[in-house]
Amino acid sequence: MKLSRPYYLCKSDRVVVLFLLAVLAFGVIGYHLLWPSADTTPIAAADSIRSKRSAVGTDSRRAYTYATPSRQVVYAPFDPNTADSTQLLSLGLQPYQVRNIYHYRAKGGVFRRPSDFARLYGLTAKQYRELEPYIRISADYLPASEVYAVHDERPKASSDSLRYPVKLRNSERIALNLADTTLLRRVPGIGAYYARRIVAYRQRLGGYAHARQLLEIDDFPEEALPFFTVDAGDIQRLDVNRLSLSQLKRHPYINYLQARAICDYRRLKGPLASLDQLRLLSAFTADDIERLRPYVRF
């Protein structure tokens, strides 16, 4: 009797075996493709991912952020047309605000008066109030008509330039709101330069409310103050309910933010009846309102 072949498989069994071998082969290949090798533990793989993310984050921060170490704010006079980044940062401005100043200047922008600085993109009302007393605009950036009308001290071809005016005696006084440059030069300590500055500032103010306002002129000699008398009735007052924003901000005591606040108040709540209504607005301090009081009418 013949024995059957011990390793013989029928056709259906061979198909099943081949199918299982194929599944096993695909499983092994897929395992190596989809999962890390046996040398890499889950903890090591996680650490690697975190390391890569940290490196990417660090590079990103280096490329797109500024180092802003804590710094002490030091207020000092500055010209926004020429101040460098170190000086601007020391005044408490943020790096993006300094960039905005540089971009404005690069495009040909000029700050011609302190109130122009209030229009800087990103500047807050609080920052402007703190910086305004320290803004000094160089005469190089003023309109030529203002510079030569006020600052030009070149001698004029007239006999007056060859004579010294007779100075006032200690008992004599002159009306500050009515005196011309010739009379002003008679005040001890006042020459042609300060005489022109007094008249020019008087025109911008609309008249002086008291003599100490002369100290708002750079380096004005305080010893000249006793020689002046002031009549507040000579002041030209502003109609704050009729003037436009551009007209209001021309006054030395009204900056851009304050002029805008007045216009917004009129638009939202109607005409002003008293300056005291502005006390609730952040653009005005109590000192601002009192300084402005002699110059407005309703």
Distance CA 259, CA 262 (A): 5
Amino acid at 158: S
Distance CA 220, CA 193 (A): 11
Give the pLDDT of residue 198. 96
Residue 39 scores a pLDDT above 60:
no
Q: Are 204 and 256 within one domain?
A: no
Within a domain: residue 51? Answer: no
Nearest to 174 by CA among 162, 188, 160: 188
pLDDT tens figures, 40-94: 444 444 444 454 555 445 444 444 444 445 668 888 889 999 999 899 999 999 9
Q: Are 215 and 243 within one domain?
A: no
Q: Are 187 and 159 within one domain?
A: yes
Give the pLDDT of residue 137. 84
Q: Which of 234, 254, 274 is the last residue of a domain?
A: 234
Q: Which of 204, 234, 264 is the last residue of a domain?
A: 234
Distance CA 35, CA 201 (A): 82
Q: Mean pLDDT of all residues in the chain? A: 81
pLDDT tens figures, 134-191: 888 887 776 666 555 544 444 454 444 445 678 999 999 999 999 999 999 999 989 8
Give the pLDDT of residue 132. 84
Within a domain: residue 71? Answer: no
Give the pLDDT of residue 162. 41
Count: domains in the chain = 3
Residues making up the chain, counted from first to last: 298
Within a domain: residue 174? Answer: yes
Q: 210: domain range?
A: 144-234
Within a domain: residue 104? Answer: yes
Within a domain: residue 159? Answer: yes
The label of the residue with tokens 């305004």 reads 132
